[in-house]
Amino acid sequence: MAKQINVSLIGNPNTGKTSVFNLLTGLKQQVGNYPGITVERKAGVCKLSRGVKAHIIDLPGTYSLNASSLDENVVIEVLLNKKDKDYPDVAVVISDVENIKRNLLLFTQIKDLDIPTILVINMADQMERKGITIDIPELEKRLNTKIVLMSARKKIGVEELKKYIEEYKKLSIAPCLNAFEIDPKYFGGLQKAFPKQSLYKLWLVITQDVNFANIDRNTIADASAFHTKKESELKRLQQKETIKRYQFINQTLKATQEINLENAKGVRAALDHILIHKVWGFAIFFLILLFIFQAIYDWSSYPMDLIDNAFAWMSDFFRETLPSGALTNLLVEGIVPGIGGIVIFIPQIAFLFLFISILEESGYMSRVVFIMDRLMRRFGLSGKSIVPLISGTACAIPAVMATRNIENWKQRLITILVVPFTTCSARLPVYLITISLVIPEHRIAWVFGYQSLTLMLLYFIGFGAALISASLLNKFMKIETKSFFVVEMPNYKIPLFKNVAINIYEKTKAFIAGAGKIILAISIILWFLGSNGFSDNFNNAEGIVSNRIQTEGFSDFNKKSIETELVNYKRALQDSVFKKVYQISPIAINDSIKIKKTILYNLAKSQEISSYKLENSYMGYMGKAITPIVEPLGYDWKIGIAVLTSFAAREVFVSTLATIYSVGSEEEETIKNRMASEINPANGKPLFDFATGISLLLFYAFAMQCASTIAIVKKETNGWMWPSIQFIFMSGLAYVAALIAYQFLK
């Protein structure tokens, strides 16, 4: 069997580790989660010579093996547990050329674990420009390993790295630092107690909260018995270790590295001067945000229209070609629109991640964190909360996941809890259709339409609700955590296309896998509840409706729409005769109008039947049951159902209304016209008036209507407590706000 070599890529954040990983593995990557936690696990395969394969793991970025977050803990777990399937045969530590000193700290720690360790100095093409010269052979000798000068951007050094990986058995595993030196007394005792164990490994086990599921239990039980030192003393020893390591590193680099600072004056200082300026910095950030939102809505509208049409076409196609029956109905009315409901979000999410990964890759995001920290802290958040809050405007799911790099648990928790308030893209269809119904199309000074201003206001309400609830949570939550705000300000870089592309692909895939499944399942359940019933009314719907049409005629809406369609049809026919497109007799014209009339009558009839069926289906009964609850908000049972189903995912609001009103198409104009013609039986006025519309908008702005978000919050907070609180708080607030709005405005 061809031998497989396990390789771990390890490095500080911002060293281009992921670029190296992408370069080695190409698109042959598998991205998943580590079991039980939501830390991303990236693995890939790289072919070496003679059929040997390298199985490469891209470990989360870390500054040292003293973990302070879940992500960093994964690194230690993999490196300490020899039975772990990812335990490396060889480790590759990636450093960027400017921060070798700091990266060597991590390098020496890993080398001390008896793992052969190769050092990659990435971005080596910039050495000359930065005024750095390194004596590689001497450094190799002092660190006792092989060093690769690499540029992932210019694809330099890959072959050399592959060669060293293949020959990993030739590498020395001698440690850089004798752990004994840190504190002879303490470590002497430790060595006496466990003579067979590597001293540095023992030390790491004692200081870390590592979950050693597979390691020899005895050793650990004994080790915890060895907790003779207090936490503060252990911390002091950790600091001593760091100092000792830096002494070694400083000596090593003094002999091997020269930095000529004269050459190092870069664009960095100039860009920093503007981008984190006390005035310009904020102005630029605001402009960038404005551009991103504008671009997302403008650019994604084209693919979204295409997707919309494609799925409508697919539904029609299956309806016409497949034999009619329950299965075809499930496909045409449940599954296809369900999948369409997921795919429609892909353009927006992809564009958002395009911008976010460009901002992150370029190094700008750290500057945003820097300028926003002070402001965000006022609300109990951290500067690092800004990234999740921006991501939240696309989708709360990736946004909740993006909170992971906030080290302070309280600030992270608050961010997770308030992020679903931001206006995500699933709210947009509801907002757009409601606004177009109840807000006049009037413009102020020809530029700002009332409608677009309302939409903007809704975004502000979302952010405002997030910030205000954050400061409330901050006041009432009694969690004592120390603030460990340390942000590295990386150098500016031009983003690598490949990294951005892979990031967009992975994030979009995660959204489809996470949210998509739930949206699809809900669509199918909705279809079932709406197309099945137990009552006589449901089973005899056809007869009942036919009788009604014979005695009373069609509903007012259908009467009117048939009339207008016929008038239009007649006019079109006469026009074409007049323009000599057709040569037909007046009798033939009358015949064709008759045929058109029959088609329209049949269509209207089947629509009224399905509407009647829905009213008497399981879903109809559910809707009528909740009427007393939603009536004070200005909703009837139909809107009630749409609101109820939206608790699974907001975006089903429009499609549910489309089904209930039996419009038969999800074409926005049609649904809108139908909604506009809906009459409130209580007062004879349009149901969707200003009061109901505002109440609906506020309800959707605040309510926690997304099963996928609840699922991800449960995962990230380790339990049902926080998602339950979040659900009750947000939905309660939504109800109260909608109630007040309706009662005041009606």
**CB distance 144 to 107 below 8 Å:** no
Which residue, 234 or 330, is less far from another protein as judged by CB?
Answer: 234
Assess contact for 415 and 388: CB atoms under 8 A: yes
Consecutive H or E run containing 497: helix 497-511
Least distance to another protein from the beta carbon of 111, Å? 16
- Find the shortest distance in angstroms from Cβ 360 to another protein: 16
Residue closer to another protein, measured from CB, 232 or 551: 232
Q: What are the residues binding another protein (CB under 8 A)?
A: 63-64, 66, 68, 98-99, 101-102, 105, 232, 235-236, 238-239, 242-243, 246, 268-269, 272-273, 276, 278, 366, 369-371, 373-374, 383, 407, 482-491
Question: Nearer to another protein by C-beta: 251 or 483?
Answer: 483
If the CB atoms of residues 101 and 570 are measured against another protein, the closer one turns out to be 101
Angle (CA) 402 377 366, round 5°: 50
Alpha-carbon distances, residue 115 vs 78, 83, 213 (angstroms): 12, 14, 21
Spatial contact of 105 and 63, defined as CB atoms under 8 Å apart: yes
CB atoms near residue 34 (< 10 Å): 17
Which residue number, 88 or 490, has a Cβ lying nearer to another protein?
A: 490
The amino acid occupying position 92 is: V
Residue 649 exposed, middle or buried by CB count within 10 Å (0-12, 13-18, 19+)? buried
Any idea what DSSP says for residue 496?
A: P
Q: Is the dihedral of CA 615, 616, 620, 626 positive or negative?
A: positive
29 vs 238, beta carbon nearer another protein? 238
Whole-number minimum distance, CB 251 to another protein, in Å?
13
In eight-state DSSP terms, residue 535 is S
Q: 3-state DSSP call for residue 649? A: strand
User: Minimum distance between the CB of residue 100 and another protein, rounded to whole angstroms?
Assistant: 9
Nearer to another protein, 268 or 715 (CB): 268
Closer Cβ to another protein, 50 or 482, answer by number = 482
Minimum Å gap between C-beta 383 and another protein is: 7
Report, in Å, the least distance between residue 223 CB and another protein: 20
Beta carbon nearer to another protein, 64 or 523: 64
- Measure the CA–CA gap between 568 and 420, rounded to whole angstroms: 46
Q: Compute the distance between CA of residue 395 and CA of residue 427 in angstroms, rounded to an integer.
A: 10
Taking the C-alpha atoms of residue 716 and residue 601, their distance in angstroms, rounded to an integer, is 54
Residue number with CB closer to another protein (42 or 130): 130
- Could you tell me the two tokens for 449? 């339409």
Q: Could you tell me the smallest distance in angstroms from the CB atom of residue 17 to another protein?
A: 17
CB of 467 to another protein, least distance (A): 18
Task: Using DSSP, state whether 708 is helix, strand or coil.
Answer: helix
CB 244, min distance to another protein, A: 11
From the CB of 190, what's the least distance to another protein, in Å?
Answer: 20
Closer by beta carbon to another protein, 144 or else 208:
208
- Residue among 10 and 458 whose Cβ is closer to another protein: 10
Per-residue H/E/C for 65-125: CCCCCHHHHHHHHHHHCCCCCCCCCEEEEEEEHHHHHHHHHHHHHHHCCCCCEEEEEECHH
Both tokens of residue 191?
Answer: 């060595």
Written as one string, the DSSP assignment of 415-473 is HHHHGGGS--TTTHHHHHHHHHHHS---EETTTEEHHHHHHHHHHHHHHHHHHHHHHHH
26 dihedral zone (left: phi>0; alpha: psi -120 to 50; beta) = left
Q: Work out how close the CB of 369 gets to another protein at its nearest, in angstroms, rounded to a whole number.
A: 8
Tell me how far apart the alpha carbons of residues 171 and 735 are, in angstroms, rounded to a whole number.
66
Q: Shortest Cβ distance from residue 269 to another protein (Å)?
A: 8
Phi, psi of 729 (to 5 degrees): -60, -50
Q: Which is nearer to another protein, 239 or 540 (CB)?
A: 239
The CB-based long-range contact list for 259-267 (8 Å cut-off, 24+ gap) reads 259/130, 259/131, 259/132, 260/131, 260/132, 260/133, 261/131, 262/131, 263/128, 263/129, 263/130, 263/131, 264/130, 264/131, 266/129, 266/130, 266/491, 267/492
119's tokens: 């050092």
* Residue 115: HSE in the Cβ half-sphere, 13 Å Cα cutoff: 31
Nearer to another protein, 268 or 548 (CB): 268
* Shortest reach from residue 489's CB to another protein, in Å: 4
CB closer to another protein, 128 vs 488: 488
- Shortest distance in whole angstroms from residue 12 CB to another protein: 9
User: Residue 570 has which token pair?
Assistant: 């007649």
CB of 200 to another protein, least distance (A): 16
Quote the CA–CA distance of 530 and 52 in Å, as a whole number: 57
